[in-house]
Amino acid sequence: MNRTEKEQVIGELHEKMAKAKTAIVAEPRNLDVATVTELRRKLRDAKVEYRVVKNTLAARAAKGTSLEPLAEKFVGPTAIVMSYDDVVVPAKLLAEFMKDRENFAIRTAVVEGKVIDAKGVQALAKMPGLQELRAQLAMMINQPATKLARVIGTPGQQLAQVIAARRDQLEKSQ
């Protein structure tokens, strides 16, 4: 790779690092192509980016971004997993991927500007994602409205039942 290509990679990576809400630095070792392709597909489907980068280029690209504190962790085989929307999804996907693999480890991460360690990423993976939280919130908001509608409708239903019972009673007496 010549100098201009390196500068282009650094510029592109710097832009992506600046936009990332979550960036996880992982260490992939001895993964076969099929396994990495499967991981990339799952991450891509969730709108998460997986990049294996040269450490010196990643360290330069991280300067001036929230990922700058991670520059010292760019040693050995390095993969960066970046998410631009949901902060929980990449942690969940990587935790699931790591369950049956010993040759893939999380080193550290930056979540919305805060550095967390591998245990923090595992804890983050156990949290509900953005979509799950939205669903829970909608259910909580909807629940009182449903109860209110039932309470408002109950007297009308009861009145209708009393009238129907009285009608039935009058019909039987005739």
Please name every residue paired with 25 in a beta bridge, in sequence order, or none if there are none: 80, 108
- In 3D space, the residue among 86, 82, 93, 91 whose CA is nearest the CA of residue 48 turns out to be 82
Mean local confidence (pLDDT), 81-87: 85
Ramachandran category for residue 25: left, alpha or beta (phi over 0 → left; psi -120 to 50 → alpha): beta
Q: Output 144 or 109, whichever has higher pLDDT.
A: 109
List CB contacts of 135: < 8 A, sequence separation 6 or more: none
Average pLDDT, the chain: 84
8 Å CB contact between 46 and 89: yes
The pLDDT of residue 41: 92
Q: Which CATH class is domain 3-127?
A: alpha beta
pTM score, whole prediction: 0.70
Span 17-45, pLDDT tens digits = 888 888 898 888 888 888 888 889 998 89
- Which position has the higher pLDDT, 164 or 130? 164
Is pLDDT of 128 > 80? Answer: no
Contacts of residue 172, defined as CB under 8 A and 6 or more positions apart, other chains included, come to none
Nearest alpha carbon to residue 74 among 52, 98, 103: 52
Mean pLDDT of 124-146: 78
pLDDT at 140 over 80: no
**Given a cut of 80, is residue 133 above it in pLDDT?**
no
pLDDT digits (tens, 9 = 90+) for 43-73: 889 889 898 888 888 888 888 888 888 888 8
Beta bridge partners of 108: 25, 117
- Residues of the chain within CATH 3.30.70.1730 domain(s) are 3-127
pLDDT in tens, 105-123: 888 888 888 888 888 888 8
